[in-house]
Homo-oligomer: A and B are copies of this chain.
């Protein structure tokens, strides 16, 4: 069965201000020093999915920039532009409808565009297993991440028991054992005591937002669990490839009920299976997570750019080669330097970066947005 990948890249992302801006959301940032995040996501999945089968769903306002950013990586027509942001169920359903209409049924993996994965080989093995499972069992496969700490910034997925698919031969040579679990519950971001309890109990994984299923299977779930969304999707699917395609999308898409795939389908489906991923995943949700991406110096500082640190520790300093950043005696401070703006933030307060952006919006300071 043909394999497809749908990369969700419609996020606005204010939490990496001042590096991220309206025209430069997180998926366009090179936070890893290698490439922009969406290109890393594309390249990472090409071991499992042919390039010509990789799609990106993004907002129409970002579509042109996305075309330019991924140039040469994707085949023409693989960027699907949403006329409006309608949450992840709409985004995924739209992509599934396009794929089924144009190519028939297939296995599709759904990937966020802006996450970091350290161990690409291990990632590829999990994805390969996930696709085989989806193809052979008609189940909804989700990738859970083995927690490394009691994170409060992630959702958790609770499982009850391992299923028989545990232990799977990947490729020809290696015999990999990847755990697969029956899912019992999806849990919102917990507070710290709850997160600690989850780790202690040992039957929780982080919700990575990565899913694998057949297009026909997920669309059947839309029909069953989200009939209003499904009706819109079917109107769009019918118009695909006709002269009225764009008009229909522009008219119907903004009416699709706003609901997340987790809330609308994953939490309600009886058929979800979870694979355990342990490949150095991080959603890179805010500046303080950069220490998961970069090696730190002997004082646990992440140092990117031209810098001098005297007696500073546990800091994240992200600058350029053009300007020198010098710090003295800091602890747990994030410093970000861009051409027109500087952020200095206590490391425990990086979630509040969006407050700066809100304030700039209130003040109408477009040059910084």
A interface residues (Cβ-Cβ under 8 A, vs B): 17-18, 308, 310-311, 319, 322-330, 333, 335, 337, 340-346, 348-350, 352-353, 355-356, 359-360, 365, 368
8 A-B pairs closest in CB distance: A329-B346, A329-B349, A328-B345, A324-B341, A328-B349, A326-B356, A327-B344, A325-B342
Question: A310 to chain B: which residues have CB within 8 Å?
Answer: 352, 355-356, 359
CB-defined contacts of A360 to chain B, threshold 8 Å = 308
Q: Assuming A319-B342, A323-B341, what are 12 further A-B pairs, CB within 8 angstroms?
A: A308-B356, A308-B359, A308-B360, A326-B345, A327-B345, A328-B344, A328-B349, A328-B353, A328-B356, A329-B348, A329-B349, A335-B342
Chain B nearest CB from A305 CB (Å) reads 10
* Bound complex: CA A322 to CA B340 (Å): 7
Report the minimal beta-carbon distance from A355 to chain B, rounded to whole angstroms. Answer: 5
Query: When chains A and B are docked, how far (Å) is the Cα of A247 from the Cα of B345?
Result: 57
List B contacts of A340 (CB < 8 A).
Answer: 322-324
Most chain B C-beta atoms within 10 Å of own C-beta, residue among A329, A335, A350, A368: A329
Q: Which residue of B lies closest to A338 (CB)?
A: B323
Interface majority SS on A: helix, strand, loop or mixed?
Answer: mixed
A243 to chain B, nearest CB (A): 48
A-B contact pairs, 24 of them (CB 8 A): A17-B326, A18-B326, A308-B360, A310-B356, A311-B352, A322-B340, A323-B341, A324-B340, A324-B341, A324-B365, A325-B341, A325-B344, A326-B345, A327-B344, A327-B345, A328-B350, A328-B353, A329-B345, A329-B346, A330-B344, A330-B345, A333-B344, A337-B342, A344-B344
Residues of B within 8 A of A368 (CB): 324
Copies per assembly: 2
Residues of B within 8 A of A308 (CB): 356, 359-360
CB-based contact B323/A346 at 8 Å: no
A328 to B356 alpha-carbon distance, docked (Å):
8
Closest residue of chain B to A357 (Cβ to Cβ) is B326
Is the beta-carbon distance between A328 and B342 smaller than 8 angstroms?
no
Cα distance, A180 to B330, chains bound together (Å): 45
Interchain CB contact under 8 A, A311 and B349: yes
Q: Which residues on B sit within 8 Å (CB–CB) of A359?
A: 308, 310
A356 to B: closest C-beta gap in Å: 5
Which residue of chain B lies nearest to A352 when distances are taken between CB atoms in the complex? B328
Q: Which chain B residues lie closer than 8 Å to A346 at the CB level?
A: 328-330
- Chain B residues whose CB sits within 8 angstroms of the CB of A325 once the complex forms: 341-342, 344
Residue in B326, B329, B330, B333 whose beta carbon sits within 8 Å of that of A341 in the complex: B326
Residue of chain B at shortest CB distance from A334: B328
Partner of A342, one of B18, B324, B350, B352: B324
Q: How far is the CB of A188 from chain B (nearest CB, A)?
A: 25
The docked-state distance in angstroms from the alpha carbon of A311 to that of B319 is 23
> How far is it, in angstroms, between the C-alpha of A356 and the C-alpha of B324 when the chains are bound?
11
A356 to B310, CA, bound (A): 8
Output the nearest chain B residue to A317 by Cβ-Cβ distance: B344
CB < 8 Å neighbour of A328 from B319, B330, B355:
B355
A47 and B199 CA atoms in complex are apart in Å by 74
- Whole-angstrom CA separation of A311 from B344 in the bound complex: 12
What is the CA–CA distance of A344 and B323 in the complex, to the nearest angstrom? 13
Task: For the complex formed, measure the closest distance between the CB of A311 and the CB atoms of chain B, giving whole angstroms.
Answer: 7
Query: Closest Cβ of chain B: how far from A4's Cβ, in Å?
Result: 41
Complex Cα gap A330–B330 (Å): 10
Least CB separation from A351: chain B residue: B328
CB of A34 to closest CB in B, whole Å: 25
